[in-house]
């Protein structure tokens, strides 16, 4: 049974918004664009994994995607967690193509590109060990019955070539490609063939995992050492092939000077961008500046219409944006 569906990760959404709102000439633009491509690739890996685990017996496994937990201030995220009466399985998805060498000396994963250049990553098996240990501590702290926890690294691309620099084939016991996932899970089922807890306990544990989620706060501007000044303000044209910034506000409508599209609510996306990238509150003047509105009154009308919670009065009044009120849509 799927307990938590896969949704685009917050970091991917934020990077997508950031890329859209940075000038191409910004010193960080290239880096943001590179990271964005990697994050999309990672997400495609998670989607592939989610499609495979859907095929598992639904009455046997409680499936959670993108679980975000915290213990003693340490945040950790699990791509996919399978909870059963016999054991728990953590699966980390990777979408790295090419030839991959698992370096057992330095515990790193080396990707060899076609032109012979090399790129190193942290060994995903080491990442899994960390998650395993954190989840165990989390279970102890939350008074859960201790089930055995095992891990798997899932590689999306079946064309990936796996190598190791040790003679031991056991290196790949915890790594699988594509549909090999099912063989690995079958072996784990043989290994953990004892029922450890009843179904009710598993349901309780599942509810606890969902209720105790604690996503790590992300300040994407700070991560790239950028400030609000680096962000292009103004309302973005909603037409996918245009996306011109800024649209002009005339007689209650947004007009795109590039493609002449008009819109009644294109400002919602800009308010969402402000909420996610800069801060979740706005004064009337900040709204006027960010949306490039002609007057204080138009800005007030727009904010008033949204029926947002407020504090303070007149010019210092703070409007509290919320994800429900503004559209962070980037996909």
Quote the least distance from Cβ 297 to Zn ion, whole Å. 26
Quote the least distance from Cβ 319 to Zn ion, whole Å. 27
d(CA 21, CA 288): 18
Nearer to Zn ion by Cβ, of 44 and 244: the residue is 244
What is the SS3 assignment for 266? Answer: coil
Quote the least distance from Cβ 237 to Zn ion, whole Å. 3
Quote the least distance from Cβ 243 to Zn ion, whole Å. 7
The phi, psi pair for 62, rounded to 5°, reads -100, 120
- Binding to Zn ion (CB under 5 A) within 244-263 occurs at 244, 256, 258-259, 261
Quote the least distance from Cβ 32 to Zn ion, whole Å. 23
DSSP states of 269-298: HHHHHIIIII-SEE-HHHHHHHHT-S-HHH
d(CA 240, CA 254): 16
End-to-end alpha carbon distance in the chain: 27
d(CA 177, CA 19): 32
- Binding to Zn ion (CB under 5 A) within 114-133 occurs at none
Contact 92, 127 (CB under 8 A): yes
Quote the least distance from Cβ 266 to Zn ion, whole Å. 9
Nearer to Zn ion by Cβ, of 258 and 329: the residue is 258
Nearer to Zn ion by Cβ, of 209 and 256: the residue is 256
- Binding to Zn ion (CB under 5 A) within 26-45 occurs at none
Chain centroid, CA 155 distance in Å:
18
Quote the least distance from Cβ 271 to Zn ion, whole Å. 19
Nearer to Zn ion by Cβ, of 292 and 325: the residue is 292
Q: How many residues bind Zn ion (CB under 5 A)?
A: 8
- Binding to Zn ion (CB under 5 A) within 85-114 occurs at none
Quote the least distance from Cβ 55 to Zn ion, whole Å. 43
- Binding to Zn ion (CB under 5 A) within 205-244 occurs at 237, 239, 242, 244
Nearer to Zn ion by Cβ, of 124 and 246: the residue is 246
Nearer to Zn ion by Cβ, of 239 and 308: the residue is 239
Peptide bond into 246 cis (omega under 30): yes
* x-or-dash string of contact with Zn ion, 260-289, rule CB under 5 A: -x----------------------------
The phi, psi pair for 131, rounded to 5°, reads -65, -40
Alpha helices in 142-266 (DSSP H): 180-191, 199-211, 220-223
Nearer to Zn ion by Cβ, of 237 and 271: the residue is 237
Contacts of 255 (CB under 8 A, 6+ apart): 247, 248, 249, 261, 262
The phi, psi pair for 277, rounded to 5°, reads -95, -35
d(CA 160, CA 167): 20
d(CA 23, CA 53): 40
Q: Which tokens go with 142? A: 């939350």
Nearer to Zn ion by Cβ, of 193 and 241: the residue is 241
Q: Which residues bind Zn ion (CB under 5 A)?
A: 237, 239, 242, 244, 256, 258-259, 261
């Amino acid at each position: 049974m799927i307990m938590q569906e896969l949704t685009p990760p917050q970091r991917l959404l934020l990077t997508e918004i950031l890329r859209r709102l940075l000038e191409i000439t910004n010193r960080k633009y290239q880096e943001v664009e590179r990271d964005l491509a990697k994050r999309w690739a990672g997400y495609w890996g998670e989607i592939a994994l989610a499609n495979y685990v859907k095929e598992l017996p639904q009455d046997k496994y409680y499936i959670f995607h993108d679980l975000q937990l915290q213990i003693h201030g340490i945040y950790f995220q699990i791509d996919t967690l399978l909870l059963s009466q016999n054991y728990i399985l953590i699966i980390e998805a990777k979408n790295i193509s090419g030839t991959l060498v698992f370096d057992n000396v330095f515990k790193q994963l080396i990707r060899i590109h076609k032109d012979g250049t090399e790129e190193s990553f942290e060994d995903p098996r080491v990442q899994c060990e960390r998650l395993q240990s954190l989840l165990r501590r989390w279970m102890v702290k939350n008074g859960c019955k201790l089930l055995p926890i095992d891990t798997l690294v899932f590689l999306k691309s079946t064309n990936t070539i796996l190598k190791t620099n040790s003679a031991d084939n056991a290196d790949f016991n915890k790594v699988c490609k594509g549909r090999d996932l099912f063989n690995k899970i079958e072996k784990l089922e043989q290994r953990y063939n004892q029922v450890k807890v009843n179904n009710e306990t598993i349901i309780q544990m599942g509810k606890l995992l969902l209720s105790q989620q604690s996503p790590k706060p992300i300040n994407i501007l700070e991560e790239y050492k950028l400030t609000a000044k680096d962000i292009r303000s103004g309302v973005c044209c909603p037409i996918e092939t245009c996306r011109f910034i800024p649209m002009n506000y005339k007689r209650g409508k947004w007009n795109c000077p590039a493609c002449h599209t008009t819109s009644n609510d294109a400002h919602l996306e800009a308010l969402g961008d402000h909420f996610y990238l800069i801060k979740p509150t706005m004064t009337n003047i900040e709204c006027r500046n960010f949306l490039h509105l002609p007057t204080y009154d138009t800005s007030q009308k727009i904010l008033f219409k949204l029926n947002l919670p407020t504090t303070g009065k007149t010019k210092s009044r703070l409007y509290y944006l919320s994800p429900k009120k503004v559209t962070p849509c980037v996909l």
